[in-house]
Amino acid sequence: MSKLAITSRCWDDLAGPDAEVAEHILTVFGQPRGLNPQSGETMRRVGGPVHKLHADLPTHSPQAVTWYDPDRDVCWLLAAGQHDDVYKRVERHRSTSIATSARSLTLW
């Protein structure tokens, strides 16, 4: 099983107003990505092997984006939020390298 980590930027995303959604995203992140860190649909417009994580709830459509570092065997949770919003934010931040985004991290 791969290690899981969350960037400081994503912790900020999860600190939003809906604790239930944040908890659900973390649960979904822990299940499939720990077992298969490269699973999920590839997000092609950000220039790297970044994967979408669908965390649908009956009343919400939260999404997240992950990246797998095979050298460290760590799957990073990079961003989380509502469906289109999270993908747009990741695209805006694509000029920032994943390694730079992951400097301040928490291993889970």
- For residue range 66-101, list pLDDT tens digits in order: 989 999 999 999 989 876 677 777 777 665 554 444
Joined tokens for residue 67 = 């990246």
Tell me how far apart the alpha carbons of residues 23 and 84 are, in angstroms, rounded to a whole number.
19
What is the value of pTM for the model shown?
0.79
Task: Show me where the domains of the chain are located.
Answer: 3-107
What 8-state DSSP symbol labels residue 15?
T
The reported pLDDT for the residue numbered 107 is 43
Q: Does domain 3-107 have CATH number 3.30.2310.20?
A: yes
Cα(first)–Cα(last) distance of the chain, in Å?
13
- CA neighbor of 93 nearest in space, from 28, 39, 56, 48: 48
Tell me how far apart the alpha carbons of residues 62 and 102 are, in angstroms, rounded to a whole number.
22
